[in-house]
Protein backbone atom coordinates (compact mmCIF):
# COMPACT_ATOMS: atom_id res chain seq x y z
CA UNK A 1 0.00 0.00 0.00
CA UNK A 2 1.30 3.45 -0.82
CA UNK A 3 1.58 6.35 1.53
CA UNK A 4 -0.78 9.22 0.76
CA UNK A 5 2.15 11.62 0.97
CA UNK A 6 3.61 10.72 -2.42
CA UNK A 7 2.62 14.10 -3.77
CA UNK A 8 4.98 15.83 -1.32
CA UNK A 9 7.97 13.90 -2.57
CA UNK A 10 7.06 14.35 -6.20
CA UNK A 11 6.46 18.05 -5.67
CA UNK A 12 9.97 18.37 -4.30
CA UNK A 13 11.39 16.38 -7.21
CA UNK A 14 9.49 18.55 -9.68
CA UNK A 15 10.83 21.68 -8.01
CA UNK A 16 14.41 20.48 -8.30
CA UNK A 17 14.06 19.21 -11.85
CA UNK A 18 12.61 22.54 -12.96
CA UNK A 19 15.92 24.23 -12.29
CA UNK A 20 17.20 23.37 -15.76
CA UNK A 21 20.36 25.44 -15.47
CA UNK A 22 21.66 23.08 -12.84
CA UNK A 23 20.87 19.80 -14.62
CA UNK A 24 22.98 17.71 -16.89
CA UNK A 25 21.15 15.19 -19.03
CA UNK A 26 21.36 11.68 -17.57
CA UNK A 27 22.87 12.84 -14.30
CA UNK A 28 20.27 14.82 -12.31
CA UNK A 29 21.24 15.92 -8.77
CA UNK A 30 18.23 14.12 -7.28
CA UNK A 31 19.43 10.79 -8.69
CA UNK A 32 22.89 11.33 -7.19
CA UNK A 33 21.37 12.08 -3.79
CA UNK A 34 19.11 9.03 -3.87
CA UNK A 35 21.93 6.77 -5.01
CA UNK A 36 24.23 8.13 -2.30
CA UNK A 37 21.76 7.71 0.56
CA UNK A 38 20.34 4.34 -0.38
CA UNK A 39 23.39 2.54 -1.73
CA UNK A 40 26.49 3.70 0.19
CA UNK A 41 27.52 3.22 3.84
CA UNK A 42 28.09 6.93 4.42
CA UNK A 43 24.84 7.80 2.69
CA UNK A 44 22.92 5.25 4.75
CA UNK A 45 24.23 6.89 7.92
CA UNK A 46 23.22 10.31 6.60
CA UNK A 47 19.72 8.96 5.97
CA UNK A 48 19.39 7.60 9.50
CA UNK A 49 20.64 10.89 10.94
CA UNK A 50 17.97 12.67 8.91
CA UNK A 51 15.31 10.47 10.53
CA UNK A 52 16.39 11.78 13.92
CA UNK A 53 15.96 15.35 12.72
CA UNK A 54 12.53 14.55 11.28
CA UNK A 55 11.38 12.85 14.46
CA UNK A 56 12.66 15.70 16.63
CA UNK A 57 10.66 18.23 14.62
CA UNK A 58 7.69 15.86 14.73
CA UNK A 59 7.67 15.95 18.53
CA UNK A 60 9.11 19.43 19.16
CA UNK A 61 8.36 21.68 16.19
CA UNK A 62 9.25 25.34 16.26
CA UNK A 63 6.57 28.00 15.92
CA UNK A 64 3.29 28.77 17.65
CA UNK A 65 0.65 27.22 15.41
CA UNK A 66 -1.02 23.91 14.70
CA UNK A 67 2.20 21.92 14.49
CA UNK A 68 2.92 22.93 18.07
CA UNK A 69 -0.66 22.40 19.26
CA UNK A 70 -0.88 18.87 17.89
CA UNK A 71 1.91 17.97 20.33
CA UNK A 72 0.98 20.23 23.23
CA UNK A 73 -2.50 18.69 23.26
CA UNK A 74 -1.10 15.62 25.03
CA UNK A 75 0.40 17.82 27.77
CA UNK A 76 -2.56 20.21 28.11
CA UNK A 77 -5.45 17.79 27.59
CA UNK A 78 -5.10 15.71 30.77
CA UNK A 79 -6.54 15.68 34.26
CA UNK A 80 -3.46 17.55 35.51
CA UNK A 81 -3.82 20.69 33.40
CA UNK A 82 -5.56 24.06 33.30
CA UNK A 83 -5.81 25.65 29.86
CA UNK A 84 -5.76 29.46 30.02
CA UNK A 85 -5.64 30.51 26.39
CA UNK A 86 -5.23 29.66 22.73
CA UNK A 87 -6.44 26.17 21.78
CA UNK A 88 -8.64 24.70 24.50
CA UNK A 89 -8.74 20.88 24.58
CA UNK A 90 -12.11 19.26 23.95
CA UNK A 91 -13.87 22.43 22.79
CA UNK A 92 -15.89 22.95 19.60
CA UNK A 93 -12.74 22.85 17.47
CA UNK A 94 -12.03 19.24 18.41
CA UNK A 95 -13.23 17.90 15.08
CA UNK A 96 -11.87 16.52 11.81
CA UNK A 97 -11.77 19.93 10.13
CA UNK A 98 -10.16 22.00 12.85
CA UNK A 99 -8.09 19.68 15.03
CA UNK A 100 -4.51 19.77 13.68
CA UNK A 101 -3.55 16.92 11.40
CA UNK A 102 0.19 17.41 11.85
CA UNK A 103 0.82 14.22 13.86
CA UNK A 104 -0.93 12.04 11.29
CA UNK A 105 0.68 13.70 8.30
CA UNK A 106 4.19 14.08 9.70
CA UNK A 107 4.27 10.58 11.16
CA UNK A 108 3.50 8.98 7.81
CA UNK A 109 6.07 11.18 6.09
CA UNK A 110 8.78 9.98 8.48
CA UNK A 111 7.55 6.38 8.21
CA UNK A 112 7.89 6.59 4.44
CA UNK A 113 11.52 7.70 4.76
CA UNK A 114 12.20 4.97 7.32
CA UNK A 115 10.67 2.43 4.95
CA UNK A 116 13.04 3.58 2.21
CA UNK A 117 16.10 3.08 4.42
CA UNK A 118 14.90 -0.29 5.74
CA UNK A 119 14.19 -1.46 2.19
CA UNK A 120 17.61 -0.32 0.95
CA UNK A 121 19.65 -1.86 3.78
CA UNK A 122 20.11 -5.37 2.32
CA UNK A 123 21.76 -3.95 -0.80
CA UNK A 124 24.29 -1.76 1.01
CA UNK A 125 27.77 -3.30 1.25
CA UNK A 126 29.31 -2.43 4.61
CA UNK A 127 30.29 -3.95 7.94
CA UNK A 128 27.28 -6.05 8.94
CA UNK A 129 27.29 -5.05 12.62
CA UNK A 130 27.50 -1.35 11.78
CA UNK A 131 24.74 -1.70 9.21
CA UNK A 132 22.48 -3.51 11.66
CA UNK A 133 22.99 -0.80 14.27
CA UNK A 134 21.94 1.86 11.77
CA UNK A 135 19.05 -0.28 10.55
CA UNK A 136 17.98 -0.84 14.15
CA UNK A 137 17.70 2.91 14.69
CA UNK A 138 15.52 3.29 11.61
CA UNK A 139 13.33 0.45 12.87
CA UNK A 140 12.97 1.94 16.36
CA UNK A 141 11.78 5.19 14.82
CA UNK A 142 9.29 3.39 12.56
CA UNK A 143 8.05 1.24 15.45
CA UNK A 144 7.75 4.28 17.70
CA UNK A 145 5.76 6.18 15.09
CA UNK A 146 3.29 3.37 14.51
CA UNK A 147 2.93 2.93 18.26
CA UNK A 148 2.10 6.62 18.63
CA UNK A 149 -0.35 6.53 15.73
CA UNK A 150 -2.36 3.55 16.93
CA UNK A 151 -2.58 4.98 20.45
CA UNK A 152 -3.73 8.36 19.14
CA UNK A 153 -6.14 7.31 16.39
CA UNK A 154 -6.89 3.57 16.93
CA UNK A 155 -7.75 3.20 13.22
CA UNK A 156 -4.66 3.74 11.08
CA UNK A 157 -2.95 2.79 7.83
CA UNK A 158 -0.16 0.20 7.76
CA UNK A 159 2.34 0.93 5.01
CA UNK A 160 5.82 -0.60 4.78
CA UNK A 161 6.41 0.03 1.06
CA UNK A 162 8.53 3.04 0.23
CA UNK A 163 7.14 5.69 -2.07
CA UNK A 164 8.92 6.12 -5.41
CA UNK A 165 8.15 8.16 -8.53
CA UNK A 166 7.23 4.87 -10.20
CA UNK A 167 4.54 3.82 -7.69
CA UNK A 168 3.43 7.15 -6.27
CA UNK A 169 0.21 7.30 -8.23
CA UNK A 170 -0.65 3.62 -8.21
CA UNK A 171 -4.31 2.95 -7.54
CA UNK A 172 -4.76 2.08 -3.86
CA UNK A 173 -7.73 1.15 -1.73
CA UNK A 174 -7.02 2.62 1.68
CA UNK A 175 -8.31 0.46 4.51
CA UNK A 176 -8.00 0.34 8.29
CA UNK A 177 -5.17 -1.93 9.39
CA UNK A 178 -5.83 -4.86 11.69
CA UNK A 179 -4.41 -3.76 15.08
CA UNK A 180 -2.71 -7.13 15.49
CA UNK A 181 -0.80 -6.52 12.23
CA UNK A 182 0.25 -3.07 13.44
CA UNK A 183 1.51 -4.42 16.75
CA UNK A 184 3.29 -7.30 14.99
CA UNK A 185 5.26 -4.75 12.96
CA UNK A 186 5.95 -2.56 15.99
CA UNK A 187 7.20 -5.50 18.03
CA UNK A 188 9.24 -6.94 15.17
CA UNK A 189 10.99 -3.60 14.60
CA UNK A 190 11.70 -3.17 18.29
CA UNK A 191 12.89 -6.76 18.78
CA UNK A 192 15.40 -6.26 15.95
CA UNK A 193 16.55 -3.04 17.62
CA UNK A 194 16.92 -4.73 21.00
CA UNK A 195 19.12 -7.37 19.40
CA UNK A 196 21.43 -4.91 17.65
CA UNK A 197 21.57 -1.71 19.72
CA UNK A 198 24.03 -1.05 22.53
CA UNK A 199 23.06 0.21 25.95
CA UNK A 200 25.68 2.95 25.92
CA UNK A 201 25.03 5.28 22.99
CA UNK A 202 25.78 8.96 22.29
CA UNK A 203 23.37 11.48 23.73
CA UNK A 204 20.26 11.88 21.59
CA UNK A 205 20.60 8.42 20.02
CA UNK A 206 18.21 5.50 20.38
CA UNK A 207 19.87 2.79 22.45
CA UNK A 208 18.71 -0.55 23.75
CA UNK A 209 17.07 1.19 26.71
CA UNK A 210 14.70 3.15 24.45
CA UNK A 211 13.91 0.09 22.33
CA UNK A 212 13.06 -2.01 25.39
CA UNK A 213 11.08 0.83 26.96
CA UNK A 214 8.83 1.24 23.92
CA UNK A 215 8.61 -2.55 23.54
CA UNK A 216 7.43 -2.80 27.14
CA UNK A 217 4.83 -0.11 26.55
CA UNK A 218 3.64 -1.91 23.42
CA UNK A 219 3.23 -5.11 25.41
CA UNK A 220 1.15 -3.27 28.01
CA UNK A 221 -1.24 -1.96 25.35
CA UNK A 222 -1.65 -5.56 24.21
CA UNK A 223 -2.18 -6.85 27.74
CA UNK A 224 0.99 -8.96 27.63
CA UNK A 225 2.13 -8.29 31.17
CA UNK A 226 4.86 -10.94 31.19
CA UNK A 227 6.54 -9.39 28.15
CA UNK A 228 6.17 -5.89 29.59
CA UNK A 229 7.65 -6.91 32.95
CA UNK A 230 10.54 -8.67 31.21
CA UNK A 231 11.42 -5.59 29.15
CA UNK A 232 11.33 -3.18 32.08
CA UNK A 233 13.24 -5.64 34.27
CA UNK A 234 15.94 -5.88 31.61
CA UNK A 235 16.42 -2.10 31.72
CA UNK A 236 16.57 -2.11 35.51
CA UNK A 237 18.98 -5.03 35.67
CA UNK A 238 21.26 -3.66 32.95
CA UNK A 239 22.56 -0.90 35.23
CA UNK A 240 22.83 1.35 32.17
CA UNK A 241 20.20 3.71 33.55
CA UNK A 242 19.71 4.94 37.10
CA UNK A 243 17.70 7.58 38.90
CA UNK A 244 19.79 10.67 39.52
CA UNK A 245 20.20 11.10 43.29
CA UNK A 246 17.93 14.12 43.73
CA UNK A 247 14.93 15.50 41.83
CA UNK A 248 16.89 18.75 41.50
CA UNK A 249 19.23 17.05 39.06
CA UNK A 250 16.63 15.63 36.68
CA UNK A 251 15.87 18.78 34.70
CA UNK A 252 19.11 20.70 35.17
CA UNK A 253 22.23 21.02 33.04
CA UNK A 254 22.11 19.50 29.58
CA UNK A 255 19.74 16.74 30.74
CA UNK A 256 22.08 14.07 29.40
CA UNK A 257 22.46 11.81 32.43
CA UNK A 258 21.85 8.25 33.56
CA UNK A 259 18.12 8.80 34.08
CA UNK A 260 17.60 9.81 30.47
CA UNK A 261 16.79 7.07 28.01
CA UNK A 262 16.40 9.66 25.26
CA UNK A 263 17.03 13.38 25.38
CA UNK A 264 16.34 15.45 22.27
CA UNK A 265 19.40 17.55 21.50
CA UNK A 266 19.16 21.21 20.54
CA UNK A 267 22.06 23.57 19.93
CA UNK A 268 21.95 27.13 18.62
CA UNK A 269 25.40 27.08 17.02
CA UNK A 270 24.76 23.78 15.22
CA UNK A 271 21.11 24.59 14.50
CA UNK A 272 18.85 27.22 13.07
CA UNK A 273 16.83 24.76 11.01
CA UNK A 274 14.95 21.56 11.75
CA UNK A 275 17.16 19.85 9.16
CA UNK A 276 20.41 20.66 10.99
CA UNK A 277 22.02 18.71 13.81
CA UNK A 278 21.23 21.43 16.35
CA UNK A 279 17.60 21.67 15.33
CA UNK A 280 15.35 24.69 15.42
CA UNK A 281 14.12 26.56 18.48
CA UNK A 282 11.15 25.46 20.54
CA UNK A 283 8.99 27.32 23.09
CA UNK A 284 8.43 24.72 25.79
CA UNK A 285 10.15 26.68 28.59
CA UNK A 286 7.49 29.41 28.38
CA UNK A 287 4.39 27.36 27.61
CA UNK A 288 3.60 26.38 31.18
CA UNK A 289 5.02 29.39 33.03
CA UNK A 290 3.21 32.57 34.14
CA UNK A 291 4.15 36.15 33.27
CA UNK A 292 4.53 37.44 36.80
CA UNK A 293 6.69 40.28 35.46
CA UNK A 294 3.47 41.84 34.14
CA UNK A 295 2.58 42.71 37.75
CA UNK A 296 4.28 46.06 37.26
CA UNK A 297 6.06 47.51 40.26
CA UNK A 298 6.32 44.11 41.95
CA UNK A 299 8.10 41.85 39.51
CA UNK A 300 10.56 42.15 36.64
CA UNK A 301 11.75 39.52 34.21
CA UNK A 302 14.62 37.45 35.48
CA UNK A 303 16.35 34.27 34.39
CA UNK A 304 15.62 32.30 37.57
CA UNK A 305 11.89 32.64 36.95
CA UNK A 306 12.08 31.72 33.27
CA UNK A 307 12.33 35.14 31.62
CA UNK A 308 9.87 35.75 28.80
CA UNK A 309 6.88 33.41 29.12
CA UNK A 310 3.61 32.52 27.41
CA UNK A 311 1.50 31.06 30.22
CA UNK A 312 -0.93 29.22 27.96
CA UNK A 313 -1.27 26.09 30.13
CA UNK A 314 -0.61 25.36 33.78
CA UNK A 315 -0.56 22.55 36.32
CA UNK A 316 -3.97 22.59 38.01
CA UNK A 317 -5.39 22.39 41.52
CA UNK A 318 -5.89 18.64 41.35
CA UNK A 319 -2.19 18.08 40.69
CA UNK A 320 -1.32 20.53 43.45
CA UNK A 321 -3.46 18.53 45.88
CA UNK A 322 -1.40 15.38 45.23
CA UNK A 323 1.85 16.82 46.59
CA UNK A 324 3.22 16.94 50.10
CA UNK A 325 4.52 20.45 49.54
CA UNK A 326 6.78 20.36 52.60
CA UNK A 327 8.52 16.99 52.26
CA UNK A 328 8.29 16.01 48.60
CA UNK A 329 11.44 17.44 47.06
CA UNK A 330 9.92 17.31 43.57
CA UNK A 331 7.65 20.19 44.41
CA UNK A 332 10.51 22.70 44.49
CA UNK A 333 12.50 20.94 41.76
CA UNK A 334 9.77 20.53 39.14
CA UNK A 335 7.81 23.76 39.72
CA UNK A 336 8.49 27.45 40.21
CA UNK A 337 7.67 28.83 43.69
CA UNK A 338 4.02 29.52 44.39
CA UNK A 339 4.91 32.19 46.94
CA UNK A 340 6.48 35.09 45.07
CA UNK A 341 9.17 37.53 46.14
CA UNK A 342 9.13 41.17 45.08
CA UNK A 343 12.11 41.46 42.74
CA UNK A 344 11.55 44.94 41.33
CA UNK A 345 14.53 46.88 42.73
CA UNK A 346 12.51 50.12 42.68
CA UNK A 347 9.94 48.74 45.11
CA UNK A 348 10.64 49.68 48.77
CA UNK A 349 9.67 46.11 49.73
CA UNK A 350 12.27 44.62 47.41
CA UNK A 351 13.27 41.11 48.50
CA UNK A 352 10.14 40.58 50.61
CA UNK A 353 7.40 38.02 50.07
CA UNK A 354 4.20 39.07 48.36
CA UNK A 355 1.31 39.90 50.65
CA UNK A 356 -2.11 38.39 49.84
CA UNK A 357 -3.36 41.57 48.15
CA UNK A 358 -0.35 41.70 45.84
CA UNK A 359 -1.28 38.63 43.83
CA UNK A 360 -3.09 39.15 40.53
CA UNK A 361 -6.28 37.21 39.88
CA UNK A 362 -5.32 37.07 36.20
CA UNK A 363 -3.85 33.62 35.50
CA UNK A 364 -1.66 35.09 32.79
CA UNK A 365 0.17 37.06 35.46
CA UNK A 366 -0.01 34.64 38.35
CA UNK A 367 -0.53 30.90 38.49
CA UNK A 368 1.37 27.89 39.76
CA UNK A 369 3.87 27.11 36.99
CA UNK A 370 5.98 24.26 35.63
CA UNK A 371 9.78 24.39 35.83
CA UNK A 372 10.66 21.11 34.07
CA UNK A 373 11.53 22.86 30.78
CA UNK A 374 13.38 25.76 32.41
CA UNK A 375 16.19 27.13 30.24
CA UNK A 376 18.68 29.38 32.07
CA UNK A 377 20.32 30.27 28.75
CA UNK A 378 17.17 31.44 26.97
CA UNK A 379 17.41 35.15 26.12
CA UNK A 380 15.52 37.16 28.73
CA UNK A 381 13.18 38.79 26.20
CA UNK A 382 12.65 35.81 23.91
CA UNK A 383 10.31 32.81 23.87
CA UNK A 384 12.79 30.82 21.80
CA UNK A 385 14.87 28.10 23.42
CA UNK A 386 17.52 25.61 22.34
CA UNK A 387 17.43 23.66 25.60
CA UNK A 388 17.56 19.87 25.46
CA UNK A 389 14.34 18.02 26.29
CA UNK A 390 14.11 14.65 28.07
CA UNK A 391 11.61 12.45 26.22
CA UNK A 392 11.96 9.04 27.91
CA UNK A 393 13.39 8.58 31.36
CA UNK A 394 14.14 5.85 33.86
CA UNK A 395 11.58 6.98 36.44
CA UNK A 396 8.85 6.02 33.97
CA UNK A 397 10.53 2.63 33.44
CA UNK A 398 10.23 1.95 37.17
CA UNK A 399 6.62 3.09 37.40
CA UNK A 400 5.49 1.14 34.34
CA UNK A 401 7.48 -1.85 35.56
CA UNK A 402 5.65 -1.64 38.87
CA UNK A 403 2.29 -1.70 37.11
CA UNK A 404 3.34 -4.59 34.85
CA UNK A 405 4.36 -6.73 37.83
CA UNK A 406 1.19 -5.84 39.72
CA UNK A 407 -0.97 -6.94 36.79
CA UNK A 408 1.19 -10.02 36.15
CA UNK A 409 0.61 -11.08 39.77
CA UNK A 410 -3.17 -10.90 39.22
CA UNK A 411 -3.27 -7.47 40.87
CA UNK A 412 -1.64 -8.62 44.06
CA UNK A 413 -1.35 -5.41 46.10
CA UNK A 414 1.60 -6.92 47.98
CA UNK A 415 3.63 -7.87 44.90
CA UNK A 416 7.21 -7.24 46.03
CA UNK A 417 8.61 -6.04 42.69
CA UNK A 418 5.73 -3.63 42.11
CA UNK A 419 6.25 -2.16 45.57
CA UNK A 420 10.04 -2.06 45.20
CA UNK A 421 9.98 -0.26 41.84
CA UNK A 422 7.50 2.35 42.99
CA UNK A 423 9.34 2.91 46.26
CA UNK A 424 12.56 3.68 44.40
CA UNK A 425 10.80 6.66 42.83
CA UNK A 426 9.12 7.67 46.09
CA UNK A 427 12.28 7.41 48.18
CA UNK A 428 14.18 9.58 45.71
CA UNK A 429 11.38 12.14 45.95
CA UNK A 430 11.56 12.35 49.74
CA UNK A 431 15.23 11.63 50.24
CA UNK A 432 14.35 8.80 52.63
CA UNK A 433 11.92 5.87 52.93
CA UNK A 434 9.47 7.77 55.14
CA UNK A 435 6.68 7.74 52.53
CA UNK A 436 7.33 4.27 51.14
CA UNK A 437 4.29 2.22 50.24
CA UNK A 438 3.48 -1.28 51.46
CA UNK A 439 0.49 -1.83 49.17
CA UNK A 440 0.13 -1.20 45.44
CA UNK A 441 -3.21 -0.04 44.06
CA UNK A 442 -4.16 1.50 40.73
CA UNK A 443 -5.15 4.72 42.50
CA UNK A 444 -1.86 5.14 44.37
CA UNK A 445 0.04 4.25 41.19
CA UNK A 446 -1.76 6.81 39.02
CA UNK A 447 -1.26 9.49 41.67
CA UNK A 448 2.45 8.72 42.01
CA UNK A 449 2.83 8.73 38.24
CA UNK A 450 1.19 12.18 38.20
CA UNK A 451 3.57 13.52 40.83
CA UNK A 452 6.65 12.24 39.04
CA UNK A 453 5.80 12.51 35.34
CA UNK A 454 3.32 15.39 35.03
CA UNK A 455 3.59 17.32 31.74
CA UNK A 456 5.99 14.84 30.12
CA UNK A 457 3.65 13.65 27.33
CA UNK A 458 2.70 10.33 28.85
CA UNK A 459 -0.31 11.01 31.07
CA UNK A 460 -2.94 11.11 28.30
CA UNK A 461 -1.81 7.73 26.98
CA UNK A 462 -1.53 6.16 30.44
CA UNK A 463 -5.08 7.20 31.34
CA UNK A 464 -6.41 5.98 27.99
CA UNK A 465 -4.77 2.58 28.36
CA UNK A 466 -6.05 2.11 31.91
CA UNK A 467 -9.58 3.19 30.93
CA UNK A 468 -9.42 6.28 33.14
CA UNK A 469 -9.05 9.09 30.59
CA UNK A 470 -12.70 10.08 30.30
CA UNK A 471 -13.32 9.85 34.05
CA UNK A 472 -10.22 11.78 35.09
CA UNK A 473 -10.44 14.52 32.47
CA UNK A 474 -14.11 15.16 33.20
CA UNK A 475 -13.41 15.33 36.92
CA UNK A 476 -10.33 17.57 36.90
CA UNK A 477 -9.41 19.21 33.58
CA UNK A 478 -10.17 22.94 33.76
CA UNK A 479 -10.09 26.03 31.59
CA UNK A 480 -10.21 29.71 32.52
CA UNK A 481 -8.29 32.96 32.64
CA UNK A 482 -8.96 33.65 36.34
CA UNK A 483 -10.62 32.11 39.39
CA UNK A 484 -13.93 33.75 38.47
CA UNK A 485 -14.36 32.02 35.12
CA UNK A 486 -12.51 28.74 35.71
CA UNK A 487 -14.68 25.75 34.76
CA UNK A 488 -14.37 22.05 34.10
CA UNK A 489 -13.74 21.33 30.43
CA UNK A 490 -15.37 17.93 29.79
CA UNK A 491 -14.63 15.58 26.94
CA UNK A 492 -16.96 13.15 25.18
CA UNK A 493 -16.27 9.43 24.94
CA UNK A 494 -15.34 9.58 21.24
CA UNK A 495 -12.57 12.08 22.00
CA UNK A 496 -10.35 9.32 23.37
CA UNK A 497 -9.54 8.78 19.68
CA UNK A 498 -8.28 11.76 17.72
CA UNK A 499 -10.11 12.79 14.55
CA UNK A 500 -8.35 11.73 11.38
CA UNK A 501 -7.68 14.96 9.41
CA UNK A 502 -10.56 15.46 7.00
CA UNK A 503 -8.16 16.58 4.27
CA UNK A 504 -6.51 13.16 4.47
CA UNK A 505 -9.87 11.37 4.50
CA UNK A 506 -10.74 13.27 1.32
CA UNK A 507 -7.44 12.26 -0.32
CA UNK A 508 -7.81 8.60 0.59
CA UNK A 509 -11.47 8.40 -0.37
CA UNK A 510 -12.07 4.94 1.06
CA UNK A 511 -10.76 5.37 4.60
CA UNK A 512 -13.40 5.78 7.34
CA UNK A 513 -13.42 8.62 9.85
CA UNK A 514 -13.31 7.72 13.53
CA UNK A 515 -16.81 7.56 14.98
CA UNK A 516 -18.16 10.71 16.60
CA UNK A 517 -16.56 13.13 14.15
pLDDT bucket at 349, cuts 50 / 70 / 90: very high
Long-range contacts, stretch 421-428, CB < 8 angstroms, 24+ apart? 421/232, 421/236, 422/398, 422/448, 424/243, 424/398, 425/243, 425/395, 425/398, 425/399, 425/452, 428/243, 428/245, 428/246, 428/247, 428/395
Tell me the C-alpha distance between 180 and 185, whole Å.
9
Strand 260-264 versus strand 478-479 pairing type? unpaired
Helix, strand, coil percentages in the chain from 3-state DSSP, rounded to 5: 50, 5, 45
List the single range of 11-25, 157-171, 241-255, 271-285 with lowest mean pLDDT.
11-25
pLDDT bucket at 12, cuts 50 / 70 / 90: very low
Give residue-wise pLDDT tens across range 400-427.
999 999 999 999 999 999 999 999 999 9
* Predicted pLDDT of residue 195: 98
Give residue-wise pLDDT tens across range 422-480.
999 999 999 999 999 999 999 999 999 999 999 999 999 999 999 999 999 999 999 99
* Predicted pLDDT of residue 33: 65
Helix/strand/coil for 3: coil
251, 371 contact by CB (below 8 A): yes
Specify the CATH class of 6-251+498-508 in words.
mainly alpha
Q: How many angstroms separate the most distant Cα atoms in the chain?
A: 77
Give residue-wise pLDDT tens across range 93-122.
999 999 999 999 999 999 999 999 999 999
Amino acid sequence: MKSIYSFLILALAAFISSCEDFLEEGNPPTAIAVDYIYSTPDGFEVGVNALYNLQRSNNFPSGYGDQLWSNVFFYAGTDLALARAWNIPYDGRFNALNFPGYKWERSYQVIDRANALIDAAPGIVMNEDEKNQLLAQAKVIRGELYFDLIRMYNNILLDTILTTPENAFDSVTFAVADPSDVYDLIDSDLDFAIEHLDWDVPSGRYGQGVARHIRGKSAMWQGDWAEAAAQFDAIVESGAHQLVPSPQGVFSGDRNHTESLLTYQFDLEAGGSADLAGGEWHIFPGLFNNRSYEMVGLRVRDVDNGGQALGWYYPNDYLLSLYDRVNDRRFNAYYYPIELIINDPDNPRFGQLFEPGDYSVNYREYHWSLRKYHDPEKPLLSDRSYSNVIYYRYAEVLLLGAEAHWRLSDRNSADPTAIDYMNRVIERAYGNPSQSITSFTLETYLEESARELAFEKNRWFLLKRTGKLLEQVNAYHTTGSNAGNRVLNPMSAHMTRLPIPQAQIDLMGTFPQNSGY
